[in-house]
Amino acid sequence: MFPKIILRLIDASILPSLLVFSAKFLSLFILVIFWKLPYDFSGVRLVFQNPADFYRANSLSNTFLFIVVSVGLYFSLFRLHFLTASRLSPAFSAKIVEAELEGLVTSTVAGYIKAAVWLALSSLVALSLFTQGLLGFSSFYPFAFQAASVALGLFILILSLERHVQDGPSSKRSQLIIEEVSHA
């Protein structure tokens, strides 16, 4: 039997992994169709007839992948840093409930799990972009931006963790307000 936290990490990583996979391949197919690049299907592989076309399409597809992964990472970090139920003031919690945005509020554990998943995916994408750049399949620019994004994301995660440790046990008033209004 796996520990509960491992199962939660696996569960939390399914949707982001599918999103990253879809972003890469859909953007590549959209670029192939948009630029009318000549290609063939060899089994399950997409084979370009011109290496320069492959390089151009793959580089732009990697740039789009960088954007999708960075948006996911920073959205999860934003929720962790600002929209954790234990950190919200009661007045701000009431405004969130009035605006019917209580789905954005997350628990501390769920916030850290999602941030860790997105940071791990961002690191894997950076490693993939580095490998593609090293082998000459893509430009190094997407890797450079992704590496900087991972470093900044890690810094923000550390700041959030430090803030959580300094806050210590906090009141559950804002969480109770959200639960009472949403159940009413």
* Mean pLDDT of all residues belonging to the chain: 88
**DSSP three-state, residue 170:** coil
Q: Give me the number of domains the chain comprises.
A: 1
- Provide the pLDDT confidence category of residue 115 given band limits of 50, 70 and 90: very high
pLDDT of 6 higher than 80: yes
29/110 Cα distance (integer angstroms) = 34
% of the chain with per-residue pLDDT over 90? 57
Condensed to tens digits (0 to 9), the pLDDT of residues 15-62 reads: 999 999 999 999 999 999 999 988 888 887 888 889 999 999 999 999
Give the residue with greater pLDDT, 87 vs 20: 20
Condensed to tens digits (0 to 9), the pLDDT of residues 74-84 reads: 999 999 988 88
pLDDT of 158 higher than 80: yes
pLDDT in the model for residue 169: 56
pTM of the model as a whole: 0.84
Average pLDDT of 161-168? 83
Residue 161's Cβ-count burial label (10 Å; 0-12, 13-18, 19+) is middle
pLDDT of 174 higher than 70: no
56/127 Cα distance (integer angstroms) = 20
Domain that holds residue 101: 4-183
